[in-house]
Amino acid sequence: MAQAERQSQNEGARLWKSLDALDENSRKHIQQRYGLSEEFQKKALNQDQAMALCDQAMATLAGEYIDHMAAFKDAKDPLETLHHLEEAEAIWAAESTIIIQLDAGGDEEAFLHTIREQAYSVLEQRLITAADACSKNASPENMALCIGILATMDRALASWGHPVDSIQRTQLRELIVQFR
């Protein structure tokens, strides 16, 4: 009886060891494929937590990202404007990555697309005023702002599936070269 009990314990220990190895392989696969941190993977592996992360990311985009884009639109100083654009893009990169990786139904990606379209419209409007300011005063700050706006527009087009050699992206890159 003692031998059967020890054998059962050994089998149980091997089972737990195998499950741990399987779990570790799963985490490694996610990290290799998506480049996500181990802490993020642990949270994302649970469906409820994944939905909570998605909701939190959407709230951050609807709040902080929109706030920075509004400040970007209204700022007068080119460096302040560029700062708000960089902050908005950092938030966008972090939160949209979470949403894209965890979105199973597609509704969240539609939300992303809507927000990005609105932001693109703001970028176009702000580019007009920034280019006008640059034509009056071609300071390094004004030129950097124009280049930053154009680069952000290029990233938006890329995220919508426009290939590198598309007419729109080619035109943006040509404009960037003109500001250098």
pLDDT tens per residue, range 30-72: 555 555 666 666 555 567 777 788 888 889 999 999 999 999 9
| Cα separation, 151 vs 172, whole angstroms | 8
DSSP string computed for 109-155: HHHHHHHHHHHHHHHHHHHHHHHHHHHH---HHHHHHHHHHHHHHHH
| Cα separation, 30 vs 10, whole angstroms | 30
% residues pLDDT > 70 (the chain): 73
Those residues with Cβ within 8 angstroms of residue 131's Cβ, 6 or more apart along the chain or in another chain:
146
Q: What is the pLDDT of residue 140?
A: 87
Q: CA dihedral in degrees (32, 35, 39, 44; nearest 10)?
A: -90
Q: What is the CA radius of gyration of the chain?
A: 24
| Domain spans, the chain | 1-45, 61-179
pLDDT tens per residue, range 106-133: 677 788 889 999 999 999 999 999 999 9
Q: CA dihedral in degrees (100, 116, 166, 170; nearest 10)?
A: -120
In terms of Cα–Cα distance, which of 7, 99, 105, 113 is closest to 44? 99
Would the pTM of this model clear 0.85, i.e. be above it? no
